[in-house]
Structure 1
């Protein structure tokens, strides 16, 4: 059978490297409860940092309607060798603000998972093969967000696969347009997210305290844009305007690096 007659395969598991390089070595390890929590305000969310509850990672409490709340913690391996599951019950029990809100809560589901935290792989396409989602390193490493970007990349990969079948050409050269489209849309923000992830993963508790003071001075729109991973020059300048003390610290140098990456043209050629 000619390779051009093969239907492209879409992989969404990062355990399959499929000739695209070695296995992922750096990854987030998370554990999470999905709880029914009748006393938890559905308009509040928590992000929790610090060595006592999420060493070299973070914890979260996200309401999702109808009294349901996701409570989780994630740590990065091999930056440390901590077990996220150990910290999960400690967070709900030992943080007073959460203990009150989770009074009477009942766990309905329990999840654990891994998330590749190395950025995108060099190439997403081979003859008859496309990698989308975790397999391509398509999640945002800033906060370990994968589902939204897996959907985006899956849609792009599906469109490319359909075009390839229609054209009767599933060669790497033809399928490489998926690489080009993905990098044109996401490469810059994903690169910056990974740069931030590597920077903050080594934070001490004192550095987190300082950074949280910085976040308090952002507008809700700026904070949401940053967590969403939508990095623009106006966002960086807005952060600096609201935190002039960064000029005299290493924070200004880091923001300059972000601006440099934002202004750098995106290379969209396939591998």
Structure 2
């Protein structure tokens, strides 16, 4: 299997590196392109056998799966770059949530999927959210999911829930890391404990909590109940947290959804506007 990556920025390079490190792909199976060729070449130079291509079309040509790891407003140009070289049996995968399956199906004569990865895939953990177009049959889906399973747990979702599930899976690590950082900073400020020590303890706690919620089979409520003795220190602090954070995560989700709708409108305008102008 040959795989092309168009875009070698933060998430594109993360996926490439994780897939190679996990043994899912060898460098010789990968072709990469980037708006700035030097960045693609720098990545390819690190992995003997990987091909850095000057054009997106060359990265797509001959690849069984092509990942589009680019910003929303770069999609129309990238799609125009590759459409003439694609074959019906190739799979094009967008990793960008505001780019809809319908946007790509309206432009490309091939199989279409959308995958929302997570930074946790860097350590072969977390989920890959999978959404499929109409021409993806079960064999195609299994081929893509078998690849992703080396670095994640592939989960099939409905496209209408892309944004909120992305909040939990893809944006979530940043949100939780922000809260953990605030927790550690407060511990340092209030007690004088060394920051490295506090971060080491807190990070181990976060890992253990994640295992309780997955392998341990506990729910968040059950973890709280097991830790917080009625009338105790944890219970008092939880009461304060509930009061002070009431509605915060509702606002967070409204914020991400508003930005998503803004980006979706711009992407739709780029695709639909091009079609209208071409009539």
TM-score interval (norm. to shorter)? 0.3 to 0.5
TM value normalised by structure 2: 0.32
More strand by share: 1
Q: Which has the greater radius of gyration?
A: 2
Question: Which structure shows the bigger proportion of residues in helix conformation?
Answer: 2
Bigger relative contact order, structure 1 or 2 (CA pairs below 8 A, ≥6 apart): 1
TM-score by length of 1: 0.33
